[in-house]
Amino acid sequence: MKTIAVVTAGLSDPSSTRLLADLLSDATATALAQRGQEVRIEVVELRPLAHALTDHLLTGFAKGDLAAALKVVAEADGVIAVTPVFSASYSGLFKTFFDVLENGALDGTPVLVAATAGTPRHSLVLEHALRPLFSYLHAVVVPTAVFAASEDFGSTSLQGRVQRAAGELAALVFARARAGHLDQFDRDLAAMGDFEDLLNG
């Protein structure tokens, strides 16, 4: 069973950011299922955690729902991170969550980045803000990032980008799982000792 953590920073209810996050998580779950991999989706909504995030910045401690959310993301096999665009970048709430995430928590973790905004003019936020942020956190960012303006929802173009990005995330998660199994096999083999000694009893 693999876990995909979905971090969504939408502020409205209902939220286009959450809608895009759901489209991406559903497509990723389907892509992993097609590879024979069971998956659990864990959604982390940042809006209810806003006060706890501020407290964490001031005290350095996480508790309750925030501590649980940070643990989910740190232990996930893959992450989908979706933010609304504020002032040509990710939202402050979104950035704060990843600011308080423990150092090294995303090392080597496959991450799919996505963003929403009212117009297509903000689409470059994916490349000038989101991709550098997760590269700095040592995550493995999938090649296809997904941007959705209000007019994109329901379009075949958005559906195509969602499917492609989800497929890339699923491939990375699956490859990482296989590599982990191979590493464990090597460790088990080494623990058996010298093959000649085993033959000699």
**pLDDT value at residue 185:** 41
Which candidate, 29, 129, 54, 35, places its Cα nearest to that of 84?
129
Question: Phi-psi bin for 102: left (phi > 0), alpha (psi -120 to 50), beta?
Answer: beta
Q: 63: exposed, middle or buried (C-beta count within 10 Å: 0-12, 13-18, 19+)?
A: exposed
| Spatial separation of the C-alpha atoms in residues 133 and 141, rounded to whole Å | 10
Which helix (DSSP H) or strand (DSSP E) does residue 36 occupy?
A: none
Chain-centre distance of CA 65, in angstroms?
18
Low-confidence ranges of the chain (pLDDT < 70): 178-201
**pLDDT value at residue 186:** 45
| Spatial separation of the C-alpha atoms in residues 131 and 141, rounded to whole Å | 7
pTM recorded for the entire structure:
0.87
| Spatial separation of the C-alpha atoms in residues 16 and 117, rounded to whole Å | 9
pLDDT in tens, 57-83: 999 999 999 999 999 999 999 999 999
Beta carbons within 10 angstroms of residue 30's beta carbon = 14
Question: Phi-psi bin for 161: left (phi > 0), alpha (psi -120 to 50), beta?
Answer: alpha
Domains along the sequence of the chain with CATH: 2-199 (3.40.50.360)
